[in-house]
Amino acid sequence: MKMAVIAITGTAMLFTSCKKENNEPDPTINLSKLAEGYASGAATKVVVYTKEATISTGYTKLYIALYDSVTNNRVDDAHIHLSPLMDMGTMKHAAPYENPDEEAVNHLFPSTVTFIMSSMGGSWTIGISVHNHSNGKEGSLTIPVTVTEPAKTKIKSFTAAHDGGKYFVALTEPASPKVGINDLEFVLYKKTSMMSFPADSSLTMTFIPEMPSMGHSSPNNVNPTHIGNGHYKGKVNFTMTGLWRLNMDFTSNGAVADTTQYIDIEF
């Protein structure tokens, strides 16, 4: 009996010392797996994770994990390029996206795609091309994605009055709104062709939060200002729970671009 205990303890110690690397917490613990495949030519397995189990229209974070398909070791240094595509049968268009840095963060490559419509209108795919810096090989794969329309949309588009351009604005923060001071962040893109949606920083943004059923606002909000890559950051104050509407105004050097758009937040 005593022997058995020692044997078990010893085995356990052996086991833990061998698997030392795997003792760190799984970086994908709170994420859902969206898709998995091999980037042919790069000898790399690609696994895509998201925060939510279902993907909705708007600013969507994708966490990409890469593995060497031979050794199954994680690849933390790679160049990844996304190419989201919507096939509507008669026409195709892309969507705004943000490629990850070449260095993984906690073994994951964070990137984003801003889905500008749901899969009701056609089928979304995301092309992922990988340059695996550890083996020097390049390759790509395409994953299908189903995008649903949420109850409260987090993305709006408008045709600007001052230049006739088509802009997309998506809410990125607050992800979990609360009563009090909340970080507020939007991302702004301009459509320059069916395939090109670069980040835009040319517009000035102001907003007023409102509870539509009561007609009141909240005090001491901070208008979002551009902080880079089309991201605008400010503060929004919620005085109570419920349905809040963020009424947004966009201007370009004093000329009105749009004053009609709003995004609802419910908590």
Binding site for another protein (CB under 8 A): 178-181, 211, 213-220, 237, 239-243, 266-267
Rounded to the nearest whole angstrom, what is the least distance from the CB of residue 215 to another protein in the complex? 7
To the nearest whole angstrom, how small is the minimum distance from the Cβ of residue 176 to another protein?
13
CB of 220 to another protein, least distance (A): 5
Given the complex with another protein, which of 199 and 243 has the nearer CB atom?
243
CB nearer another protein, residue 32 or residue 217: 217
If the CB atoms of residues 201 and 237 are measured against another protein, the closer one turns out to be 237
189 or 238: CB nearest another protein: 238
* Cβ at position 80, least distance to another protein in Å: 38
Least gap, CB of 208 to another protein (angstroms) = 9
Cβ proximity to another protein, 142 vs 239, nearer residue: 239
Structure tokens at 70: 């031979």
The least distance separating another protein from the CB of residue 148, rounded to whole angstroms, comes to 21
Closest to another protein by CB, 117 vs 243, is: 243
